[in-house]
Amino acid sequence: MGKRVTLNDYIQLNPETGHGLKRLLKMSGDVEELDLYMEVTYKDMFGELQTMELLPNGSKIKVNNDNKYDYVDRYYQFFLTTLVDKQFKSFSRGFHNVVGGNALSLFTPEEIELILIGDDNNNQPIDVEILRSVTKYNNCKPTDRVVEWFWNYFGSLSIKGQKKLLLFVTGSDRVPATGLPSLNFKVTKLNVAAVKETGEVQRLPVAHTCFNEMCLYEYSSKEVFDQRMDMAVYCSEGFGIR
């Protein structure tokens, strides 16, 4: 959208370093004692450490109380703009080819972000009952015990756990900008013949993120169900298991 990135944008990318830069700006003592210079060290795509001067002869210019604002500004601009300039320009061209136009100017950057990646729900718990009320079911009924176990499991999770589960099922840990009622959520019960001699299903629950679909097996008990769900949600990475 042609807006200049800020320190708060960098904090989203790297909270620890970003907040450290904020503390640097608020320091009342002599910044020069920190022995910082107008340069930055980072890892390249091969994992090798590289050092880049933030301005000509920066490796010999010490950061002090007079130039600390310039240092911080150049620091986060380097990571958010300079370092990714080529890749971002390619992304920007593609983005504007698909959804570009005068309509974008009607929105703030925050509103565009909300539309693209959803709402973080102000870090509040997901209203499981609302999601449950709009969910569609396949090969099962809302009253089936494995379905009840799923909703009880969802409701018992911490905020972080709920985000992990939402990410597992939908590919995003955020709710739609238009709210949970607009989320096309689906629960399917799977049939499986591969069980142990004890009759216990060994397979983990699976998700089809393209369809926001949670697929469950008929486990022997809620304890087993919770164990399988924990393993599926917390040990998953991309399209596989860690």
Which CATH number fits the domain that encloses residue 41? 3.30.2160.10
- Confidence label for 174 from pLDDT (cuts 50, 70 and 90): confident
Asked whether residue 29 is assigned to any structural domain, the reply reads yes
End-of-domain residue from the set 55, 83, 111 = 83
Higher local confidence (pLDDT), 119 or 189: 189
More confident residue, 195 or 119: 119
Instruction: State the amino acid at position 75 in one-letter form.
Output: Y
Helix 145-156 to helix 222-234 angle, to the nearest 10 degrees?
A: 50
Considering the chain, what percentage of its residues have pLDDT values greater than 70?
A: 93
Domains in the chain, number: 2
| Model confidence at 242: pLDDT above 50 | no
CB within 8 Å of 10: residues ≥ 6 apart: 17, 18, 21, 76, 79, 80
Q: What is the mean pLDDT of the chain?
A: 90
**Based on the domain organization, do 49 and 151 belong to the same domain?**
no
Q: Which of 140, 210, 215, 235 is catalytic?
A: 210
Segment 206-217 mean pLDDT: 94
Q: Which domain holds residue 79?
A: 7-83
In the predicted structure, residue 88 carries a pLDDT above the cut 60: yes
Q: What is the pLDDT of residue 225?
A: 95
Same structural domain for residues 69 and 138? no
Picking from 85-94, 125-134, 135-144, 197-206, which range would have the lowest pLDDT averaged per residue?
197-206
- Among the ranges given (72-86, 92-106, 125-139), the one the predictor scored with the smallest mean pLDDT: 92-106
pLDDT at 193: 57
In the numeric block, which tokens belong to residue 179?
């709210």
Residue 1 domain-assigned? no
With respect to residue 15, please indicate whether it lies within any of the assigned structural domains: yes
Angle at 30 between CA 28 and CA 34, to 5 degrees: 115
In whole angstroms, how far apart are CA 58 and each of 44, 72, 80, 96, 211? 20, 13, 19, 36, 51
Mark whether 49 and 144 lie in a shared domain: no
Answer whether residue 88 is part of any domain: no
CA distance 72 to 54: 10
Q: Show which of 31, 54, 83 is a domain's final residue.
A: 83
| Same domain, yes or no: 237 and 125 | yes
Residues 66 and 137 in one domain: no
Angle at 65 (CA atoms; ends 62, 66), nearest 5 degrees: 85
Let me know if 210 is a catalytic residue: yes
Whole-number pLDDT of residue 22: 95
% of the chain exceeding 90 in pLDDT: 69
Model pLDDT for residues 8-57, shown as the tens digit of each residue: 999 988 999 999 999 999 998 999 999 999 999 999 889 899 999 999 99
pLDDT classification of 238: cutoffs 50, 70, 90: low
The pLDDT value recorded for residue 240 is 52
Task: Look at residue 120 and tell me whether its pLDDT is greater than 50.
Answer: yes
Query: Cα-Cα-Cα-Cα dihedral of 16, 19, 20, 22, to 10°?
Result: 170
